[in-house]
Amino acid sequence: MFRLDGKVAIVTGASSGLGVAFARALAEAGADVALGARRVDKLEQTREMVTGLGRRAIAVATDVSRPEDCEALVAAAVEELGAVDILVNNAGVGTAVPATRETPEQFRSVIDINLNGCYWMAQAFGRAAAGSGTIVNIGSVIGLTTGGLPQAAYSASKAGLMGLTRDLAQQWTVRKGIRVNCIAPGFFATEMTDQYDPSYLEMMSPRVVSGRLGKTEELAATLVWLVSDAAGYVTGQTIAVDGGVTIT
């Protein structure tokens, strides 16, 4: 029930970090993968990794804040890989700007990618999916709790993504056969956490019940479960994979 043989997955933000881990896990489970990101050179490296695992892969330059780019990524997946079955909305940006200093342009740029971009991708996927499919939106525990940083735009975008998840699940699970869920990661060792001041992670460590950063393969395993038949009765949910941050 956990295998994805014969499935075609789309992963946005696939040029680095969690996107690469997701692409690897999906390929290892048997899926072919369409990869989208703005950094085409790094995206090509992910494509080579997927093909090295024996799966088909395409790399498409994609800015998810542009609806036309989202449509083009889905169209390329259908044309070159034959179908679309899975969408992983992983593209996102993180910022930390005090609310009294954050400009309208800064706030809008985060919302455009983290929230609007997921909606444009979901729309394109929903139009192309043939009677079944599954979407996983990659949120954040910062959509459920505060992280001790000035992150109004980021928090709002991730909280909004959880609401979008619920509504799309309500609209599409029965009518289109598309399950929609959200994963809310805690602190994982990625390019994003590499940018944190070590003192910040020390400050947050008492809130992590598990006592450590998460491993990307642990998060990727949750993703594979959610998009597989093993989670066929799960829709509209936000699953926190956070080492216990949200219970402290």
User: Domain residue spans in the chain?
Assistant: 8-239
Place of tokens 């936000």: 238
Rounded to 5 degrees, φ, ψ at 237 are -105, 150
Average pLDDT of the segment spanning 103-129:
97
Strand partners, 112: none
pLDDT of residue 148: 80
Q: Tell me, yes or no, if 196 is annotated catalytic.
A: no
Among 13-17, 63-67, 110-114, 197-201, where is mean pLDDT lowest?
197-201
Average pLDDT of the segment spanning 12-35:
97
Q: How far, in Å, CA of 138 to CA of 93, rounded?
A: 12
pLDDT of residue 194: 63
Residues 6 or more apart whose CB falls under 8 angstroms from that of 101 comprise none
Q: How confident is the model at residue 123 (pLDDT cuts 50, 70, 90)?
A: very high
Q: How confident is the model at residue 37 (pLDDT cuts 50, 70, 90)?
A: very high
Average pLDDT of the segment spanning 211-224:
94
pLDDT of residue 66: 98
pLDDT of residue 191: 65
User: What is 8-239's CATH number?
Assistant: 3.40.50.720
CA 90 to chain centre: 2
Q: How confident is the model at residue 192 (pLDDT cuts 50, 70, 90)?
A: low
pLDDT of residue 139: 97
Q: How confident is the model at residue 213 (pLDDT cuts 50, 70, 90)?
A: confident
pLDDT of residue 149: 87
Marked catalytic residue, from 154, 196, 200, 233: 154
Among 34-38, 81-85, 149-153, where is mean pLDDT lowest?
149-153
Average pLDDT of the segment spanning 159-166:
98
Q: How confident is the model at residue 147 (pLDDT cuts 50, 70, 90)?
A: confident
In sequence order, which ranges of the chain are alpha helices (DSSP H)? 17-28, 40-52, 67-81, 104-111, 117-128, 152-172, 191-194, 198-204, 216-227
